[in-house]
Amino acid sequence: EDQVTQSPEALRLQEGESSSLNCSYTVSGLRGLFWYRQDPGKGPEFLFTLYSAGEEKEKERLKATLTKKESFLHITAPKPEDSATYLCAVQADGNNRLAFGKGNQVVVIP
Amino acid sequence: DAGITQSPRHKVTETGTPVTLRCHQTENHRYMYWYRQDPGHGLRLIHYSYGVKDTDKGEVSDGYSVSRSKTEDFLLTLESATSSQTSVYFCAISERAGDRPTEAFFGQGTRLTVV
């Protein structure tokens, strides 16, 4: 069974204080790892897809990296508008389903 | 934004009644999914579809059924609603690009309360 564990569950940051979110995964064969952002009362919004170890993707203050066992979402100099829950999901070989972690809730304080 | 519409957006229903949630897409994507999201559990897959009339179960499918008679519509039915099915339900769609999976796009969700 595919497993995805995200840590920390919740994180409070001062504006400008950089940090990283962790997503550890166990799958039979990774086809893709996805990061989403979710704001309260809304559906998840796609951020990045990573396919193989060593791959990196960037978007504004966010940078996602991937190893064979985990992914990190680095938030550089966060702003209050980066406050959200960040979700990690994996898709394994042989299926078209996503298995999600429980999320990292991030609050950025002005 | 991906063209995904969920209806209704909010619903309160009584225990034991059947409920149908609708997901409509305008993207012509092959794959459609129903998830539920609950505090402490994250997003869990209920059922998914890989084509018209082609569906399969997810990890929490008991008490739910689905149908897909057209590419654009995916219906989720709670056959006899229970309080444990109070949740936020999300529909998602995706397509495949060759051998690589592509991202799933999510609807805005349906908040269902069973009283």
Residues of B in contact with A96 (CB under 8 A): 31, 48, 50, 94, 96, 101
Q: Beta partners for B102?
A: none
| DSSP SS3 for B61 | coil
Kindly report the backbone phi and psi dihedral angles of residue B94, in degrees, each rounded to the nearest multiple of 5, phi listed first.
Answer: -155, 165
> What residues in B contact A101, CB-CB < 8 Å?
42
Q: How would you label A22-34 residue by residue, b for 16+ Cβ within 10 Å and e otherwise?
A: ebebebeebbbbb
> How many angstroms separate the CA atoms of B88 and B90, rounded?
7
Q: Which residues of B touch A97 (CB under 8 A)?
A: 33, 45, 48, 58
pLDDT at B37 exceeding the cut of 80 = yes
Partner-chain residue, chosen from A43, A45, A87, that has the shortest CB–CB distance to B109: A43
A7: phi > 0 → left, psi -120 to 50 → alpha, else beta; which?
A: beta
Residue A57: the pLDDT is 97
Nearest Cα residue in chain B from A98: B45
**What letter would DSSP give residue B30?**
S
**B2-36 pLDDT tens trace:** 699 999 999 999 999 999 999 999 999 999 999 99
Whole-number Å distance between alpha carbons of B115 and B111: 13
Residue in chain A nearest B30 by alpha carbon: A96
pLDDT, tens only, A2-42: 799 999 999 999 999 999 999 999 988 899 999 999 999 99
Name the average pLDDT for chain B. 93
Summarised one tens digit per residue, pLDDT across range B90-102 is 999 998 766 677 8
The C-alpha of A92 sits at a distance from chain B's nearest C-alpha, in angstroms, of 9
* CA pair distance B23, B8, nearest whole angstrom: 9
CA distance B52 to B55: 8
